[in-house]
Amino acid sequence: MSDPISWDAGLIRRYDKAGPLYTAYPPVAQYSDGILPNDLFAALRESGHLDRPLSLYIHIPFCANACHYCWCPRVITKDRSRAQPYLTALYREMELVARHLEGDQPVQRLHLGGGTPTFLGHADLTELMARVRGHFHLHEDDNADYSVEVDPREADWSTLGLLRELGFNRVSLGVQDLDPEVQRAVNRLQSLEQTQAVMDAARALAYRSVSMDLMYGLPGQTRDSFAHTLERVLEMKPDRLTLHNYVHLPQLHASQRHIDESRLPSRDERLAIYARSQCQLLQAGYRYIGMGQFALPDDDLSLARETGLMSRGLQGYVPGEQTDLLGFGMAAISQVGDLRCRNTGDVLEYQQSLARDRLPLRTGLRCTADDRLRSAVIQQLMCRFALRFSDIEKRFNIEFFAYFADCRAQLQQMHDDGLLQLGERGIQVLPAGKPLIARICMVFDAYQQVGNGNRYAHTL
């Protein structure tokens, strides 16, 4: 049985600050210019020599309509032909990267995201996966995790059937909210019937897992309206469900300037929406994974949470250990060994760079020894809700509080407030601390981003 989680409104208001969600450390906001293609090529060769398993992320940025809340890198167009020059560049990027891999590294995870991957037609989806298989060693036994994001407004039975034939075994459905008033406010009209049809197709086609994404904090939402949406979603019984916190940063994301700020829920209402949703999910039998992610007890992710054999990365929590990540497409991120790099987020620059046979890298960094150490601490806290000092001390040859002396006072305060138990051998996150796990991890963040509202929003 999973450890309990509790909601203490006073502690939540006190501790929930603006900061990163720790899908990566160092956070992407720390990336800077200076990473060159040869840096990635060298990291790829080392990865191959060590025969490290791989994860692939492929970004399809196209959307037929602009959802006002969205902060993902995207291209808004109804012209399906615009995908062709992008796919040509994407295939060239795969070729340039794959030629520097040595060995036969298995692809443990594959995620096709966007944007809207199902913006592509059946022929393009088929060609895309043929190119992937031509360059990388995919499992063909259905045991690896190969997932795809599906917009229920863009997909039907035939599309889901094709994706299953192409090797995808997990599907993620974007829902956000089923209330028509909220949908109109964010320019995303999607009926319950559309969502149910795609869910039925995924079940009939024997996808191993179906997940749904909901978003709280959108204009017009109340705790009652969102509870009604969640009730209808729970009737469909997705295997996994993620509650995303709407991050309103119109100074960074132009589409959010279309949102009427006066209709956004207050801070207290947002927290009430999340608290009630968490209660609904737990009462419905879902297990709390962390950071707004929930899963049914028999889902692989719940089993991984029980054992601690999971990792947290750019796609959130996933079963299994961390792997090297190869990102393809506009704004995609790669993490290979100590190297972190991100492609340009400009689609024309992306295509033009690859037309010249040059990787479209824009920013990145090399992890320092301190980055590796802090990343290991954050990863263990995120994935186990616990930290054993001896694990870190042996792995990095340090004495824990000699190295993290400046963290002790904050940890002691969190201990006194009931967020965690601080002992001689380690840290155990208590039920009241689990909703605030990102805030606990901020203690170990050397980049001092607590309260940085210019780049981040509240973690809840």
CA distance 246 to 71: 10
Residues 179 and 210 in one domain: yes
| Average pLDDT estimate for 67-74 | 91
pLDDT digits (tens, 9 = 90+) for 167-187: 999 999 999 999 999 999 999
Residues at the annotated binding site? Answer: 57, 63, 67, 70, 114-116, 149, 176, 188, 213, 333
Here the tokens at position 348 are 């024309």
Which conformational region is residue 114 in: left (phi greater than 0), alpha (psi within -120 to 50 degrees), or beta?
Answer: beta
Residues 267 and 252 in one domain: yes
> pTM here?
0.95
DSSP string, 257-323: GGS-GGGSPPHHHHHHHHHHHHHHHHHTTPEEEETTEEE-TTSHHHHHHHHT-EEEETTEEEES---
| CATH value at residue 413 | 1.10.10.920
Residues 103 and 43 in one domain: yes
Q: What is the chain's mean pLDDT, rounded?
A: 94
Q: What is the pLDDT of residue 454?
A: 55
| CATH value at residue 316 | 3.80.30.20
Output the CA–CA distances (angstroms, integers) from residue 11 to 5, 23, 266, 414, 418, in the order listed: 13, 23, 18, 10, 9
pLDDT digits (tens, 9 = 90+) for 259-310: 999 999 999 999 999 999 999 999 999 999 999 999 999 999 999 999 989 9
- The domain containing residue 446 runs over which residues? 1-26+369-460
Residue 77 has pLDDT above 60, yes or no: yes
Instruction: Show the CA angle centred on residue 315, arms to residues 443 and 6, nearest 5°.
Output: 50
More reliable by pLDDT, 13 or 450: 13
Q: What is the pLDDT of residue 450?
A: 47
Last-in-domain residue among 297, 328, 359: 328
Residues 291 and 182 in one domain: yes
* Structure confidence at residue 428 as a pLDDT band (50, 70, 90): very high
* Structure confidence at residue 63 as a pLDDT band (50, 70, 90): very high
From first CA to last CA, the distance across the chain in angstroms is 25
Last-in-domain residue among 273, 296, 328: 328
pLDDT digits (tens, 9 = 90+) for 306-336: 998 999 999 899 999 999 999 999 999 999 9
pLDDT digits (tens, 9 = 90+) for 207-217: 999 999 999 99
Residues 413 and 310 in one domain: no
* Structure confidence at residue 96 as a pLDDT band (50, 70, 90): very high
Last-in-domain residue among 302, 328, 354: 328
Report yes or no on 353 lying in a domain: no
Q: What is the pLDDT of residue 455?
A: 64
Residues at the annotated binding site for [4Fe-4S] cluster? Answer: 63, 67, 70
Q: What is the pLDDT of residue 252?
A: 81
Q: Total domain count for the chain?
A: 2
Residues at the annotated binding site for S-adenosyl-L-methionine? Answer: 57, 114-116, 149, 176, 188, 213, 333
Residues 401 and 382 in one domain: yes
